[in-house]
Amino acid sequence: MTRRKLREQIFKLLFRIEFNDADEMDEQIRLFFNDVDETYDAEDTEYIQGKYDAILKLLPDIDKAINERTKGWTTERMSKVDLTIIRLGVYEILYDENVPDSVAVNEAVELAKKFGQDESYSFVNGVLGNFVDKNG
């Protein structure tokens, strides 16, 4: 599976936390990996699960950083799709040394174009731009 496709799958799995309690997520993860529309080899499964686990562990810090660097917006006001994409992008910018900042932003914008509303890509780009400018 390509990195872009893997990132899309991480987004889809991460999106589920917006609609399920923490104690339901083990079942949601099982359902995700047993989806008949997708097949995951062991390497893909390990990559998706590993990145999901890392993001989930850092989620309070990621959300705090988002709230500190956005003016007029909080994580509570953002659409669930945009928030999930931004969380993934922030994780890649701040914590994943294997992903260049420009790639993290570009891939997040592409996810927003595919899954978000008409102006989501612009919003996501603007929010993540705050992290790139202050991180690099």
- Structural domain of 63: 3-135
CATH number for the domain spanning 92: value is 1.10.940.10
pLDDT at 10 over 90: yes
Query: What is the number of domains present in the chain?
Result: 1
pTM for this prediction: 0.92
Cα distances (Å, whole numbers) of residue 53 to 43, 64, 124: 15, 18, 22
Q: Considering the chain, what percentage of its residues have pLDDT values greater than 90? A: 88
Q: Where are the beta strands (DSSP E) in 56-101?
A: none
Q: Are 105 and 86 in contact (CB under 8 A)?
A: no
**Per-residue pLDDT tens digits for 68-124:** 999 889 999 999 999 999 999 999 999 999 999 999 999 999 999 999 999 999 999
